[in-house]
Structure 1
C-alpha cells in the first residue's frame, strides 16, 4: 500500500489559519479526526470543526453557508445541486477524496448482484441490469423479465425474476439508479421488493442488505442487490461486466458499481478555491492523507493517478 501511495501529490508548505467547518457523513468521523489532527499539527493556526450528522445535512450545511466543506459518501443528488445553484447561481465544486469500501455497511460499499446458491448464472452486464430493473431502458433495448431471457434453460427458462433491492430513495438505491438506470425512476415495480434499514431511534442500523440476502436465500428464482458485508449461506455474488467486486477492482475503479466519497465546496468556476479549504483538501489527497483513509476506516485510498487528477481540480 505504501508503494502504491508513493506517487501521490505532495504538500506545499504554506502557513494557514482560521476555522474550517466540515459537515457530512458520520461514518467519516474517524478518518476526519485523523486528517484534522495531522493538518492542525502542520498549521497550528487552523481549527477544524467537524459536524458529521449525515450526507444530506452536510450538503444542506454547505449551501446554507454553515459548512465550508461537505463530505458525502456518494455524489450529490440533483436536488442538492439545484438547491446550491439556486442560491449561488453556479454548481458546487467537487473532488473525490476516497473510494467506497468493499463490504463495510455505511461506508459506501459497492452494490453487488447476488443469486441463489443453486442458480447457474455466471455474470450480468449493466445493460442487462437496466433491462431487468427498469422500464424506461436508457441503456437497454427491451425488458428482461424471465431467467430464460438471461440465457438459462430447463427449469429456469420461463421462471420470472424475483428482484430484491434497497429502497430506491436510499443512498444505495439512488446510486444504483444513477449508474444502472441513468437516473430513471421508472423501475420494474411488478417484480421488485424493496427493503429499508430497520428504524431504530438515534442509531444507524444499515441492515437492509441483511434482510435482502435473507429473502434471497429462501428464493431459488431471486436476484438481489446488496453488499458483500452481508453475504451468507444460500447465496453467491455474480460478476458484473465480467468483473467481480474485489478490493483491487474497486481501488482501480474497474468494477462498474464502485462508489466514491466526494468533497463538495463553494467555488465559482474559474475562481480560486478558498486557501483553507484547498489546503485541507491537498492534505487529504497527499500520501499522508490517503494513508489515514486506509488506517482509520474501511474506505479505500485513491490511486496515485486518481489523487493527482483530483488535486488538479483544485487549481
Structure 2
C-alpha cells in the first residue's frame, strides 16, 4: 500500500502530522559542509532578540563543546529587540524571526551609515505554530482555480502603485499600473458564473507576516485591493480587548467567511487553517514558467515553494571589515552540517538547503 493510500482515510490533522514526520525524516545533511574550526576563539557573544524556540540555546551548547572559552550572554524577549540592540551597541548578534521594518532599517543606517548584515540561518516553519510560518493561499473548495503566480497574487491583493520600498529607499522601478489589477475571476481564465464575479480578498492585518507578504508579493508597497479584509491570528495577543468572541481572528475568517464564500481568496499560515474544513490550498509559482508548487513541509524545506520564510541572525558589520572571529566561527557552525542537523532534530524550524548554506557562509568571508 502506498503512503498516500494509507493516509487517505484519516483526518487532515493526523495526515499532516504523518507527512511532516516523513518529510523531517527525509532530511539529509550529508551534502552540507561539515564544520571545520578555523582557529580557537574566546570571549563573550551577546545575543539579543528571539531565542528561536530554544534552538539558539542548542546551538550555543554544541558550540561551547568545541570552543569552551566562549561564553554567551543572552537577552531574548522578542524578535523586536534584535536590531534595536544592535543599534544601541548592546548586542553582537540579533536572532530574529523576520525582516526588519522600515524604522529598524533606517535607524541602523542613520547611526552607522551602512546597512545591517542579515544572515539566513533557517527556513520558517510549515506547520509549527508561531515559528515564522511560510504563507499559503487558500480558496473555497468550490473554486476551480488550482494555481497562481506571484504576479497574479499582486494583481489580486495589491493595487496600482507608483513605487515600492527597498529598505528605506523609495524605488520608482517597482511601480505598476491599474492594468495589473485583477478584480474578477474571469481575469484569471474562469468562465460561466465566475466570469464577472468580483474576487473577495482576505488576509492578515499589519504584522511581520503581512510585511513579508508585501515584500514578496506587492513590491514592498502598502497599496492593497480596496476590498481586502484584515484579521489577526486567533488566540494571539493581537486580538482586541473589544473582541471576546475573536471575530477579528483568522480562524473565524476562514471558517465562517471564506469557507462559505466561493468567490473569496485568502492568504494565511497553515496552523491557522489546518482545522478548517471547506478550503483548498493553491499551488504557487514565481512566474508563468513555473514550476507551480503546492505547499508542504517538504516544499518549504527544499525552497521550491515561493513563500517560505527566512529566519535571520543580524549583525553589525562595517563594509570591507572582517566579521569578529568569535562571531564568524559561531555563525559558521550554525551554517554547517552539524548546526543544521541540530535544527532538523529540534523540529521548530526547517533546515536550509545546501545552496543557501553556501550562499550565507560566503557572507562571512
- The answer to whether TM tops 0.5 is yes
Contact 1:139–1:181 under 8 Å retained in 2: no
1:89-133: CA deviation from partner (whole Å, max 9, x where unpaired): 111112110111112222111111100011111111111111111
Instruction: Describe the shift of the 1:80–1:36 C-alpha distance in structure 2 as closer, same or farther (beyond 3 A).
Output: same
Contact 2:125–2:348 under 8 Å retained in 1: yes
Corresponding pairs, count:
308
Instruction: Give the secondary-structure state (helix, strand or coil) at the position aligned to 1:272.
Output: coil
Aligned to 2:44: 19
Aligned to 2:227: 191
Aligned to 1:102: 126
Distance 1:211 1:266 in 2: 42
Aligned with residue 152 of structure 1, among 177, 190, 197: 190
Instruction: Describe the shift of the 1:102–1:267 C-alpha distance in structure 2 as closer, same or farther (beyond 3 A).
Output: same
Instruction: Give the secondary-structure state (helix, strand or coil) at the position aligned to 1:114.
Output: strand
Compute the displacement of 1:199 (Å): 5.2
After superposing the two structures, state which structure 1 stretch, 101-110 or 257-266, moved more: 101-110
After superposing the two structures, state which structure 1 stretch, 144-153 or 260-269, moved more: 144-153
Distance 2:343 2:29 in 1: 14
Aligned with residue 34 of structure 1, among 42, 58, 67: 58
Compute the displacement of 1:2 (Å): 6.1
Instruction: Give the secondary-structure state (helix, strand or coil) at the position aligned to 2:342.
Output: helix
Distance 2:252 2:78 in 1: 23
Residues 103-118 of structure 1 mapped to structure 2, 5 A cutoff: 103-118=127-142
Aligned to 2:143: 119
**TM-score, length-normalised on structure 2?**
0.79
Distance 2:212 2:32 in 1: 30
Compute the displacement of 1:156 (Å): 1.9
Distance 2:65 2:77 in 1: 25
Compute the displacement of 1:173 (Å): 0.3
Distance 1:300 1:166 in 2: 23
Aligned to 1:176: 213
Aligned to 2:282: 238
Contact 1:212–1:226 under 8 Å retained in 2: no
The alignment's C-alpha RMSD in Å is 2.1
- Structure 2, unmatched stretches of 5+, are 1-25, 162-174, 239-245, 286-291
Distance 2:249 2:314 in 1: 27
Compute the displacement of 1:9 (Å): 4.4
